Chains A and B, each alone.
Chain A
Amino acid sequence: MAAPAQLGLQNAASPIMEELIAFHDHALMIIFLISSLVLYIISLMLTTKLTHTSTMNAQEIEMIWTILPAMILIMIALPSLRILYMTDEFNKPYLTLKAIGHQWYWSYEYSDYEDLAFDSYIMPTYFLEPGEFRLLEVDNRTTLPMEADIRVLISSQDVLHSWAVPSLGVKTDAIPGRLNQAMVASMRPGLYYGQCSEICGSNHSFMPIVLEFIYFQDFEVWASYLYIV
């Protein structure tokens, strides 16, 4: 999750998020260089004594400031499209998880297992243990196996919601009457936090998402324990 007052992206937990961070660095470097150039040109314009009020044409500069931005846009668009198509790749998933948005909680269903479903409400502040995070903890975490491709089917039971987990680079709208599909894969075990990202009423800020990625064998134990319960 984010550190206090963090502005940048969170550390990547999935390969897609690593690619997104790399693309962000690439775009930021281009933006930085363009900003430096613009600042320099502004300083030039403010310090010149030369004026020319009857310019009729300027073919060379027109060529430069047409072709150069086109090349810059291509340099940005190509990696962007590569990542876009990468996010749409669907390898054979190990597990399918349904995430359904409600006002104001998420419910999860593991369709591969019979009768494995639960609701995930925000943990009220007065129930938090020391060290837990305010407005981010939930009563039932969504446990998933790490290093496995997981298909998440996202929908809503009432209004628009959005299922977002920044560390995994996933944000998918939950639309009533529609099933959206996202692929999620974590490279390491841990807890990954997210929050609803589409305004959905008074408690929109109070329906967080917590994914708990664990080892395969522990996941099987967890799933079988929930059967028994």
Chain B
Amino acid sequence: MAAVPEPDEPAKRKPFKLLGILDVENIPCARDSILYGSLGSVVAGFGHFLLTSRIRRSCDVGVGGFILVTLGCWFHCRYNYAKQKIQQRITRQGMKNKLLYEGTHLDPERKQNNGNSSN
């Protein structure tokens, strides 16, 4: 929700968007993917140039490397981010259930302990 900024708070600056569309500050994994992509682009392009001394082709390889590395890092990071979010949700739900049901007949730890003791 929007809130009127307090006088002591610093003014919120406009978020920086690559090509005017990609908000790298607020989209999870965007900043890392772009940075790794840039690094991959420089390594691939410069490496190709050192091997072949062809400038235009090295630029093409650099752009191709940027796209591939960015995409690869993006999918890898988003996959891990999604797994983390699911884990956080499960943990939060587990903590809430423990608080709610501790000491009652629905307490999952009590059921588990009863199962272990009967074995």
Interface residues of A (CB under 8 A from B): 1-4, 6, 8, 18, 22, 25-26, 28-29, 31-33, 35-37, 39-40, 44, 131, 133, 190-191
Q: How large is the interface on B (under 10, 10 to 19, 20 to 34, 35 or more residues)?
A: 20 to 34
Residue positions of B touching A, CB distance < 8 A: 1-2, 4, 18-19, 21-23, 26-28, 30, 33, 56, 60, 63, 66-67, 70-71, 74, 78, 82, 85
Nearest opposing residue in chain B for A24, CB measure: B27
Which residues does chain B contribute within 8 Å of A36, judged by CB atoms? 19, 63, 66-67
A39: B residues at CB distance < 8 A: 19
Inter-chain contact B2/A28, CB cutoff 8 Å = no
- Taking a contact as CB atoms under 8 Å apart, the answer to whether A29 and B22 are in contact is yes
Q: Across the interface, do A29 and B19 meet the contact criterion of CB distance under 8 Å?
A: no
Query: Could you jot down 7 A-B contacts, CB within 8 Å?
Result: A1-B2, A4-B2, A6-B2, A8-B26, A36-B19, A36-B67, A133-B2
Name 18 extra pairs, CB < 8 A, besides A22-B82, A36-B66, A40-B63.
Answer: A25-B28, A28-B27, A29-B22, A29-B27, A29-B30, A29-B33, A29-B70, A32-B18, A32-B21, A32-B22, A33-B67, A33-B70, A36-B63, A36-B67, A37-B63, A39-B19, A133-B2, A191-B1
